[in-house]
Amino acid sequence: MTPDSTPAVPATHRVLLLNSTRDPYDITVVEQPTPQAGPGSAIIQILGASVLTFGGKVFSGQIPYPYPTPFVPGSSAIARVAAVGPDATTLEVGQLVFFDCFIHGRDNPNSLILHGLYSGFDAGSNKLMENEWRNSTYAEYCKVPLENCFPLDERRLLGNPADGGFGYSTADLMFLHTISIPMGGLRDVGVRAGEKVIIAPATGAFGSAAVVAALAMGAQVIAVGRNLEALEKIKLLSPEGRVRTVQNTGDVAHDVQELTKFGPANVFFDISPGEAAKSTHFTSCIQALGRGGRVSLMGAFMELTLPLMSMLQNDISVKAKWMYTKEDMRYIIQLAEAGYLKLGQAGGIQTATLFPLEQFEAAFDAAAKTGPCMQTIFVP
């Protein structure tokens, strides 16, 4: 990634093209005409694009996400603005931006897609991804909605510490994407500084990012997981001791006792994969909440059994959340620019593994094995 070059848009560029959904992959790297900016859009030069832990499963069809084919897959990205449409008011060519892959219909904000991954829940969403926003960021350049480009204070984030910068790399900035998802749930239930927030599972990609996010918001964290070694790494995220860890043993009474050792918690945040739908942590974490406790459920699966009697005795409220709002995204960037959210080595986040487009299989494999506070990135 070269953070200091202003791009000129070439006539053609390299993209990762998913021809059809097939296992093993039906994906090739090809040269295509570079898209042009029009009203409402910008062309960004991709410096790095995030790879999800389950991205390989989605693009090989093992997880059946809807998307049109052929198309260029992708995700959120750190990028430089290469061209802007005539209605751009503040975005400028050369500016460093975070591109947010969560695209909303302009005439219907309920039409939602994850650019390069998921064509949404209704016909309007499908239309967005079939046409205007079909090709995503696993490419050298990408056409994106103006409003999905969040300007970054380059001097502050990438600048030399001697000049008041944090000295991050653009790869470090990519972790803003991993944080954005749990931040959506944490803000949705109004996490406040000083509150005790149980995060379970805390050892996965998004769970560990939830710990980073909650710490940046000033909360105390109780990190829950099955794997003690991974939990030890999570504990290191707070040298000042704001992270305690509790193992999910499957014994609810024992786990509740451990979780409430220092008093009842205010919030329980979950971001489980499907395999965890029957995990006992849902019951133990909810039973560890105090009166008026709030629950944010972000794990995406069909059905879940919750301990309703404890919930009604304690006035527990439950919210489910998909992704995050634009305000959440601005807040994350503000926290990073203010220094409350620490990225890269300073934040205990492992240097990303960077892959060129040609090594897509290796990138998807590496992402699937991602441990806590690690990330995998395509650098086209």
Ligand X SMILES: NC(=O)c1ccc[n+]([C@@H]2O[C@H](COP(=O)([O-])OP(=O)(O)OC[C@H]3O[C@@H](n4cnc5c(N)ncnc54)[C@H](OP(=O)(O)O)[C@@H]3O)[C@@H](O)[C@H]2O)c1
Helical segments of 243-343, H only:
252-259, 281-287, 308-313, 326-338
Query: Is 59 a residue that touches ligand X (CB under 6 A)?
Result: no
Cα distance between residue 72 and residue 29, in whole Å: 10
> Shortest approach of ligand X to residue 209 CB, angstroms?
8
Minimum distance from CB of 379 to ligand X (Å)?
Answer: 20
Give me the helix-helix angle, 205-216 and 228-235, nearest 10°. 30
Closest CB to ligand X among residues 225, 344: 225
**d(C-alpha 75, C-alpha 137), whole Å:** 6
Decide if residue 340 touches ligand X (CB under 6 A): no
According to the binding rule CB under 6 A, does residue 181 interact with ligand X? Answer: yes
**Using CB under 6 A as the criterion, what x/- string covers residues 243-282 for binding ligand X?**
----------------------------xxx-xx--x---
What is the C-alpha separation between 69 and 170, in angstroms, rounded? Answer: 30
At its nearest, how many Å lie between ligand X and the CB of residue 207? 5
Query: Is position 53 an interface residue for ligand X (rule: CB under 6 A)?
Result: yes
Interface with ligand X (CB under 6 A), residue from 18, 47, 179, 205: 205
Q: Provide the token pair at 293.
A: 């406790």
Give the residue, chosen from 56, 201, 344, 348, that forms a contact with ligand X under the rule CB under 6 A: 201
Cα–Cα distance for residue pair 351/345, rounded to 1 Å: 7
Minimal distance, residue 52 CB to ligand X, in Å: 6
Choice from 7, 73, 120, 207 touching ligand X (CB under 6 A): 207
End-to-end Cα spacing for the chain:
9
Which residue number, 45 or 272, has a Cβ lying nearer to ligand X? 272
CB of 274 to ligand X, least distance (A): 6
Q: How far apart are CA 283 and CA 280, in angstroms?
A: 6
Nearer residue to ligand X within complex by CB, 4 or 275: 275
Q: Please, where are the H alpha helices in 244-295?
A: 252-259, 281-287
Spatial separation of the C-alpha atoms in residues 137 and 379, rounded to whole Å = 10
Report if residue 336 touches ligand X, rule: CB under 6 A.
no
Matching residue, tokens 């898209």: 35
Binding footprint of ligand X on the chain (CB under 6 A): 53, 181, 201, 203-207, 225-227, 230, 271-273, 275-276, 279, 298-300, 321-323, 370
